Amino acid sequence: MEYAKGIQEAILPSFNALKSVFTNAYLFYRPSNVVSGDFYWVEMVGSKVVLVLADGTGHGVPGAFLSVLGTGLLRQIISEEKICEPDEILTLLNKKVKEGLGQSRLNNTLKDGMDVAVSVWDKASRQLTFSGAKRSMLLKHAEEVKLIKGDRFSIGGDQQHEPDFTVHRFSADEGDSFVFFTDGIVDQFGGPEGKKFLSKRLVELLEKGKGINAFVGDFDRIMTEWLGEQEQLDDMLLLAVEL
């Protein structure tokens, strides 16, 4: 298992890779087991930075296999094919995951898949685009925080039709920020009443924080306190970026 962890960590981009394209960035990565089904990818294509967060079905070893498949396919799509439109990335990823898992065959019973958020930040035009497959984005612009929801279908799985992914476009000012997160964070039970963390607490943290640094310090502490003696139910991954 530790060997598998080493392989997974070698495949994922390093935090330094994230910081090399986003000077002010934060990564919170806490697997519920030795290996994780949550993963991310970051790639510079010309003046554009593509950032992907994904939450594979399950956690532990099954989720880790999906993360290896996902990172390999994202490398093909972004690094080799130079695709840098978020909806096109999701469409191609869906096609390749279904092919890789044999889900296009009528007798296939494998329903595994992943929920994915993709952002593309064009440094030249200061345009931010986002598409999501059952994953959302928190966007802070002019001190207002909005939850930008992804579409209601996953990547892979047993869906037979080819989904059309929505593209959300924003003009970003200096100091604007966005946050990606997996459901292991918002669905985690904890706190004094044993309730779910929910996305509204992330919204509150972003609203009161002055920049990503304030959010980061609060989040790490608050999540640790929220868990307390509760069992961590799922992998946790959060990416926060200030533009």
- Whether the CB-CB separation of 186 and 199 falls below 8 Å is answered with yes
d(CA 24, CA 44): 16
CATH number for the domain spanning 85: value is 3.60.40.10
Query: Tens of pLDDT along 69-124?
Result: 899 999 999 999 999 999 999 999 999 998 877 666 656 656 778 999 999 999 99
d(CA 73, CA 52): 12
This prediction has a pTM of 0.91
- Per-residue pLDDT, averaged over 12-17, amounts to 79
pLDDT for residue 242 is more than 70: yes
Q: Is 149 helix (H, G, I), strand (E, B) or coil?
A: coil
Burial of 78 (0-12, 13-18, 19+ CB in 10 A): buried
Mean pLDDT (the chain, rounded): 87
Query: Tens of pLDDT along 38-61?
Result: 899 999 999 999 999 999 876 556
Helices (H), 40-198: 60-74, 86-100, 183-186
Burial of 219 (0-12, 13-18, 19+ CB in 10 A): buried
More confident residue, 102 or 173: 173
Measuring CA to CA, how many Å separate 203 from each of 8, 39, 213, 217, 218?
A: 30, 22, 15, 15, 12
Longest dimension (CA), the chain: 53
d(CA 109, CA 57): 14
Place of tokens 């044993």: 194
- Per-residue pLDDT, averaged over 139-146, amounts to 91
Please, what is the end-to-end C-alpha distance for the chain in angstroms? 37
Domain that holds residue 99: 2-242
Quote the number of domains for the chain.
1
